[in-house]
């Protein structure tokens, strides 16, 4: 079924971002920005191309340098990895366009402040492309140790991006983020060591064939899962996420909440349902489900209490991560429910990436214009920045799960899975979480619609920033209107029984 | 007990000692050291693994993993030290608690 492909396109999706990152670093801000934007577009074309080839000719493997596993490292292309790669490219391109405007000199701002933004812009591009390259390695690599290195590359660039602002709160968040995320990677690495000690292979596909239930497997899986949970910021280890995501510059918040979270979640799904199937005990899935449930309710309640928009969105991320983890208990059920749980969980993570990136971009635009993000002072924003507020409303629809949006499809499929597997309490939870999400989104929208306070000064938001956030939120809605395409891609070489969904996909 | 198992168990113990340090110590530098101790524990565990072949030939893959791991650990340490130095320069403190208890920290 899997064939060796001759095309090097998959290698270039990894090489290109790293190469551009180095070039951006050497070229400085002006040329670096240009290189960055051009690279983003090339990467999108490249990944769409890969997607089409996987769609037409099925999954494939590529042995880097001609050394195939177990000695070398394989790149594997299947529905899931191509989908992740593609959405990272789409979200990444919108973020790049946004950052293009964000770090430019701002009219009406003091020279000193503009210098600060210029400096951030210089370092943003290399770090962003290292993170992007790391994510692509994560999605494509089929070697668990190579994936560890990818996780570290993503974390280090993400931490540096958090610290980009250089203020005390940014440095503090970055330091806290560092200790937690490094703890996560070390625990994951220990798990890798245990697996290697028992089976002597590192390739995901080979591991799948040799792994057996037993003490060492259980210890290894527990360690790897624990490490990835810390990195994904599932309750109760979520506390580092809100300050890190909220204190970063807006394009960085979008990268972290949209893409970095999706990366470690993807890996957990890949490990659990491809490599470790048959070794995982259902009770472990239930445990993750309970943690997810607490995250949904706790995160949403915290989001409601925030007075700053970016902090609210960061807590919303905590809640939405909870939704993603509902995939784990729901997949334990019967085969009819499994297709929905699998599709729903992954669909939800993709739509969240689009919607949350869009929401953070709008939050950044508002901060750009007003110089703050206090929700109670948002009066009149809908009149002054109609495009931004419209984009926020569209992204909010997806976060709440209103039809027709990507978030709706994801939640609907999870609901269906909950009903089909007879775990109705999760269905109740999904609905309750959506209502809470509606409360915090409408709270913001309501204030923006009120009449403006007279005499408030605001900077003009560059059109580039407004349009890229709008495009991003359109994608979040488009995911609801054209759900067939991503779901069809996800079906390719899917480890989970998908037949049951034929009627739904059509 | 074979030497490999002895080394593996020692590696696990070193990892746990490091983990304890990361949790209980508040000073940034101690936390950085604790992370490095944890890493050393894992490296020791991996090196012990290289002894898994019955013919006495060491397995090169764990060695490669440790080498890569050391590179990652060195860059991580350099990076966090730079962050901590910046934090110290900005606040004069060396732990999360001290920064939060500071009245400047209260605003954060």
Q: What is the pLDDT of residue A504?
A: 56
Quick one: pLDDT at residue A334? 60
Q: Which residues contact A481 (CB under 8 A, 6 or more apart)?
A: A404
The answer for residues whose C-beta is within 8 angstroms of residue A483's C-beta and 6 or more apart is A347, A406, A409, A505
CATH for B3-106?
1.10.287.3510
Among B residues 78-107, those touching chain A with beta carbons less than 8 Å apart: 79-80, 83-84, 86-87, 90-91, 96, 99, 104-105
Q: Which residues of B touch A154 (CB under 8 A)?
A: none
| pLDDT tens figures, A404-437 | 899 999 999 999 888 888 888 999 999 999 999 9
Structure tokens, A69 = 């596993």
Min Cα separation B69/chain A (Å): 8
Give ∠ CA A309-A311-A312 in degrees, rounded to 5: 60
Q: Break chain A down into helix, strand, coil percent, rounded to 5.
A: 80, 5, 20
Model pLDDT, residue B50: 82
Q: So what's the pLDDT on residue B40?
A: 95
| pLDDT, position B1 | 57
Share of chain A above pLDDT 90, in %: 57
Q: Which residues of A249-264 are buried (b: 16+ CB within 10 A; e: fewer)?
A: bbbbbbbbbbbbbbbb
Alpha-carbon distance of A307 to A255, in angstroms, equals 22
- What distance, in Å, lies between the first and last C-alpha atoms of chain A? 24
- Domain segments of chain B as ranges: 3-106
CA distance A225 to chain B (A): 17
Span A451-471, pLDDT tens digits: 877 767 777 888 889 999 999
Which residue of chain B has the CA closest to A180? B22
Neighbouring C-alpha atoms within 13 Å toward the C-beta of B26: 8
Report, as an integer, the average pLDDT of A134-155. 95
ipTM of the complex: 0.94
Is B46 in CB contact (< 8 Å) with chain A? yes
Note whether A200 contacts B80, CB cutoff 8 Å: no
**Test mutation, A70, A189, A219, chain B, max B CBs within 10 A:** A189
Spatial separation of the C-alpha atoms in residues A496 and A483, rounded to whole Å: 18
Q: How confident is the model at residue A278 (pLDDT cuts 50, 70, 90)?
A: confident
Q: For residue A4, what pLDDT is reported?
A: 47
Q: What is the DSSP string of B39-83?
A: HHHHHHHHHHHGGG-TTSPPPHHHHHHHHHHHHHHHHHHHHHHHH
Closest Cα in chain A to B49: A197
Of A235, A223, A214, A345, the closest CA to residue A287 belongs to: A235
Lowest mean per-residue pLDDT among A229-233, A312-316, A451-455, A478-482: A451-455
CB-CB neighbors (< 8 A) of A195 in chain B:
none
Q: What is the pLDDT of residue A487?
A: 86
Cα distance from A152 to chain B (closest Cα, Å)? 8
How large is the average pLDDT for residues A393-414? 92
Smallest CA–CA separation between B52 and chain A, in Å? Answer: 8
Which of A159, A171, A196 is opposite residue B86, by nearest beta carbon? A171
Q: Calculate mean pLDDT across residues A375-404.
A: 90
């Amino acid at each position: 079924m899997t064939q060796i492909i001759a095309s090097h396109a998959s290698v270039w999706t990894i090489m290109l971002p790293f190469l551009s990152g180095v070039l951006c670093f050497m070229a400085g801000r002006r040329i670096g920005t240009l290189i960055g934007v051009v690279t983003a577009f090339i990467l999108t074309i490249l990944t769409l191309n890969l997607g089409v080839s996987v769609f037409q000719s099925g999954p494939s493997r590529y042995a880097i340098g001609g050394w195939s596993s177990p000695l070398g490292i394989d790149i594997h292309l299947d529905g899931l990895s191509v989908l992740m790669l593609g959405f990272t490219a789409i979200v990444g391109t919108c973020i790049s366009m946004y950052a293009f405007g964000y770090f430019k000199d701002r009219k009406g701002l003091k020279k000193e402040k503009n210098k600060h933004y210029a400096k951030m812009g210089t370092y943003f591009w290399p770090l962003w492309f290292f993170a992007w390259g790391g994510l692509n390695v994560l999605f494509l690599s089929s070697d668990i140790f190579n994936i560890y290195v990818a996780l570290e590359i993503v974390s280090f660039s993400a931490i540096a991006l958090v610290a980009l602002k250089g203020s005390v709160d940014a440095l503090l968040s970055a330091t806290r983020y560092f200790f937690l995320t490094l703890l996560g990677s070390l625990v994951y690495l220990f798990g890798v060591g245990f697996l290697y000690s028992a089976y002597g292979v590192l390739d995901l596909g080979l591991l799948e064939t040799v792994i057996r239930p037993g003490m060492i497997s259980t210890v290894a899986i527990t360690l790897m899962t624990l490490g990835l949970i810390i990195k994904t910021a599932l309750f109760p280890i979520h506390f580092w996420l809100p300050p890190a995501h909220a204190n970063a510059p807006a394009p960085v918040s979008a990268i972290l909440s949209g893409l970095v979270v999706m990366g470690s979640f993807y890996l957990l799904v890949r490990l659990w349902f491809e490599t470790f199937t048959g070794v995982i005990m259902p009770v472990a899935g239930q445990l993750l489900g309970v943690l997810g449930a607490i995250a949904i309710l706790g995160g949403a309640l915290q989001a409601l209490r925030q007075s700053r928009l970016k902090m609210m969105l960061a807590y919303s991320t905590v809640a939405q991560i909870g939704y993603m983890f509902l995939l784990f208990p729901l997949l334990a059920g019967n085969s009819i429910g499994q297709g929905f749980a699998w599709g729903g969980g992954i669909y939800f993570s993709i739509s969240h990436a689009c919607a949350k990136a869009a929401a953070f971009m709008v939050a950044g635009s508002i901060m750009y214009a007003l110089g703050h993000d206090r929700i109670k002072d948002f009066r009149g924003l809908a009149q002054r920045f109609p495009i931004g507020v419209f984009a926020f409303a569209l992204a909010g629809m997806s976060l709440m799960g209103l039809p027709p949006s990507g978030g709706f499809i994801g939640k609907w499929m999870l609901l269906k899975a909950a009903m089909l597997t007879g775990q109705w309490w999760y269905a109740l939870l999904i609905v309750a979480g959506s209502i809470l999400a509606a409360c915090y989104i409408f709270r913001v929208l309501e204030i923006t619609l009120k009449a403006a306070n007279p005499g408030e000064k605001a900077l003009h938001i560059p059109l580039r920033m407004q349009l890229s956030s709008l495009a991003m939120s359109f994608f979040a809605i488009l995911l609801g209107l054209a759900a067939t395409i991503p779901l069809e891609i996800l079906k390719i070489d899917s480890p989970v029984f998908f037949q049951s969904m034929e009627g739904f996909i059509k | 007990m074979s030497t490999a198992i002895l080394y593996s168990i020692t590696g696990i113990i070193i990892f746990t000692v490091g983990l304890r340090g990361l949790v209980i110590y508040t000073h940034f530098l101690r936390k950085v050291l604790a992370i490095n101790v944890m890493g050393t524990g894992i490296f020791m565990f991996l090196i012990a693994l290289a002894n898994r072949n019955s013919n006495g030939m060491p397995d090169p893959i764990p060695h490669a993993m440790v080498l890569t791991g050391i590179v990652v650990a060195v860059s991580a340490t350099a990076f966090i030290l730079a962050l901590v130095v910046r934090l110290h320069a900005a606040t004069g403190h060396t732990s999360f608690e001290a920064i939060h208890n500071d009245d400047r920290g209260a605003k954060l």
